[in-house]
Amino acid sequence: MTNPARDARILKAGIAILVWLLMGLLGMALLQIKVPPENKDMLNLMVGALIGNAGAVVGDLFGNSRGSSKAETQ
């Protein structure tokens, strides 16, 4: 038998690891690769979206609002 709450926590942790891994890879790539001027705006958009997603992951995993604590207990 599987525990749905446990499965959800494992999935959230996997997504969090993936997002933070992508952030690290992007940071390393930006230090090594010169971005052509015509692609600069697209890169800024992608980096901003990734940073926003990383913030959402942190908020979801480590947030302690009343709604998130109710969801954890159910």
- Tally of residues, the chain: 74
Residue-wise pLDDT for 34-43, tens only, equals 888 998 898 8
Q: Domain range for residue 16?
A: 4-73
pLDDT at 11: 84
Residue-wise pLDDT for 51-60, tens only, equals 887 788 778 7
pLDDT at 41: 92
| Cβ contact 59:51 at 8 Å | no
Confidence of residue 65 (pLDDT cuts 50, 70, 90): low
Q: Looking at the 3D structure of the chain, how many domains does it have? A: 1
Using CA atoms, how far apart are residues 59 and 52, in angstroms rounded to an integer? 11
Residue with the bigger pLDDT between 6 and 73: it is 6
Query: Which structure tokens are listed for 6?
Result: 């446990």
Contacts of residue 50, Cβ cutoff 8 Å, sequence gap at least 6: 19, 22, 23, 26
pLDDT at 17: 86
| Cβ contact 48:11 at 8 Å | no
